Amino acid sequence: MEQCPSSSRADRKTIEKNRRNQMKALYSKLNSLVPHQRSREVTSLPDQLDDAVNYIKKQQTNLEKMREKKEYLMGTEKSGNNNAGFVGGEVIGGLKSPQIEIEIQEMGSALQVVLITGLDYQFMFNESIRVLHEEGADIVNASFSIVEDTIFHTIHSKIGESAPGPVAARISERLKKLVNGRAGSF
């Protein structure tokens, strides 16, 4: 049984069209996961892929810095010294007190809050979430780790495009005041 050549070409065209549509959907999905500095600007596919590669590399660097910071802080806690500093990053605001430390990083429309507290101050996590919600940030992920008597909270949030003014700076200021208020009550 022999197939008609035009039918075979039509099948190949359909297969190729489906493949292109699938690739377009995958590129679009990848692009939606990368925070963009540009506003509503149409970018070419190669530029979108470059942005994704750069973002992933930046996240890998940030992850390594956070691992180093965690190791440093864990080593500091074991020796009983609470004067640990933060390493690198695009810090908008950081604040330290004897029992509470906070770091806020802005990455495009994403905001990362790292809160380090003692076991007696774990309520600060809820307070930080409340501040983020009040300022219109959407919580994407929140997690914590406990090492001896220290809790490391990490909150990833996304700032809405419709939020008025410099939201990241306002959130940073409110969180610093919140921590300052608690630091004064030790």
Domain of residue 148: give its range.
85-183
Domain assignment of residue 58, yes or no: no
Supply the pLDDT for residue 123. Answer: 75
Supply the pLDDT for residue 18. Answer: 94
Domain assignment of residue 140, yes or no: yes
Number of independent structural domains in the chain: 1
Domain assignment of residue 135, yes or no: yes
Supply the pLDDT for residue 4. Answer: 60
Q: Which of 118, 119, 157 is nearest to 140 (CA)?
A: 157
Torsion 49-168-144-129 (CA) sign: negative
Domain assignment of residue 10, yes or no: no
Rounded CA separation 176/147 (Å): 24
Helix (H, G, I), strand (E, B) or coil at 41: coil
pLDDT along the chain (186 residues), means of 10: 68 93 89 73 82 88 86 60 37 48 81 82 78 84 85 85 67 79 50
Supply the pLDDT for residue 159. Answer: 81
Q: What is the pTM of this model?
A: 0.44
Domain assignment of residue 50, yes or no: no
Tell me 148's DSSP state: T
Supply the pLDDT for residue 5. Answer: 64
